[in-house]
Structure 1
C-alpha cells in the first residue's frame, strides 16, 4: 500500500503555534508530512528570514508531526514536488500563493496532486502570537533600544 504524502511549505522563521496548527492540519490529510522550507534567497514576498536555512529546516524537522523537512530547490520550486510526488499540497491559511495558478502550474508540469488550504488558528488566549512578524514586533517593543 502506498502512503498518501502531503506537502506543506513556507519560510517558518521563528516557529510559533500557528505553524504547528498548519502542520497538524496538513498531516491529518495523509500518512506522511513532507515540509519544504524556503531558502532565504527565494523569500521575495516579505522580509527575509532572521534564521538561516539550515536552522529553520532543522527546527521544523524536529517536530513530531513532520516526517521529513527539506530545503526548497534554489531555482525551481517544483523540483522537490516532483521528487516527493505528493497526493496533496497544503497551503497555509495566509500564504500568498494563488491556488488556481498553482493547480495550473502543476498540471502544466505533469504533476497530479490536489491543492488545499489550511484553516486559520485563532489565538487560544489573549496575547498569544501566531505571526512571526508580530513576534518580532513584540521583541523590538520590549527589548529594542
Structure 2
C-alpha cells in the first residue's frame, strides 16, 4: 500500500457584519468551488502565522486568529494527501478585499447564503461549527409586514419576535403589495434601510411580488411570528412548509397600545 503524504493546513472563518469571506478556487482539487481562506502551514511557521499569511495572500485582508473551531482529520477530506486542518475563527482587522493568483474570485457572502452553498472539501462543516461557536445557529425567527411608518407598535412586535430566537429576519412588503393596502409613504428600499438600522434586526429582505413562500423556502425559519392583526391561512402555511421539509412553529404577537399606521397617516 502506497503511503500518502501527511500535511498540516490552517483554515479561517472570517465573519464581519453577518457575512463570511469565501474564495473561489482556480485550480484543482475543487476547481471552481467556493471555500474558506486557508492553506498549508509552511516549515517553521505556527498555525496562527499561517492563518494570517494565507488570509492576506488569498483575500487581501488582515486578520487576527481568535478561537480554534476544531481539528479536521478525515483521511478523505483532500485527494492530494492526508491533510489535517486546524480551523480558527478570525477577527477582521483591516486590509482591502482582492483576489490572489490562486483564486478566481473572493467576496463576502451573507451567512445564510453561505450555509446553503455546497462548499469545497469539508468547509461547509467547518463554517457551521464556527457559526455554532458564535451562537449564529440559534433559532431563526421570520416576520413580515409593510412597515410603512415605523411606530412603537412595530418596535414591540419586532422585539417580542426576536425574543423567541437568536436571529430575526424581516420581510418587508414590496411596493406593489404595499400600495394595495393604502397610501405608500416610503418605497421598499427606504423601509428596508430603516429596519436595518434597528440593532435587534439581523436581516431585512424585500418580499417577492408573487410568492411569499419563496422567502420561507430560502430562509427556512424555525419560527414565524405574526402580528395580532395579520391574516394568514395557517392551514395553507402548514401544508406548504411541510411540503418544503421545514418544521416551523407559529407565534402570534399580542397588540401593544393603540398604534396604527392608517390612523397616523390620517392625522
Establish whether TM, by shorter chain, passes 0.5.
yes
- Tell me how far apart the structure 2 counterparts of residues 100 and 119 of structure 1 sit (CA, whole Å): 21
2:150 corresponds to which residue? 15
Paired residue for 1:115, among 250, 264, 267? 250
Structure with higher RCO (Cα < 8 A, 6+ apart): 1
SS at match of 1:116: strand
| Superposed displacement of residue 61, structure 1 | 1.1
Q: Is the Cα contact below 8 Å between 1:88 and 1:115 reproduced in 2?
A: yes
Deviation digits for residues 20-75 of structure 1 (CA, Å, limit 9, x no counterpart): 01001100000000000011212476215321010111111111110111111222
Task: State TM-score, norm by structure 2.
Answer: 0.46
CA contact (8 A) 1:34 1:66 kept: yes
- Kept in 2, the 8 Å contact 1:90–1:118? The answer is yes
Gaps spanning 5+ residues in structure 1: where?
124-129, 139-145
- Across the two proteins, how many residue pairs are aligned to each other? 132
Judging changes above 3 Å, is the alpha-carbon distance between structure 1 residues 44 and 51 closer, same or farther for their aligned structure 2 residues? closer
Consecutive unaligned residues in structure 2, runs of 5 or more: 1-131
TM-score by length of 1: 0.83
Higher helix share: 1
Aligned twin of 1:126 = none
Q: Which residue of 2 aligns with 1:74?
A: 209
Distance in 1, matches of 2:149 and 2:179, equals 18
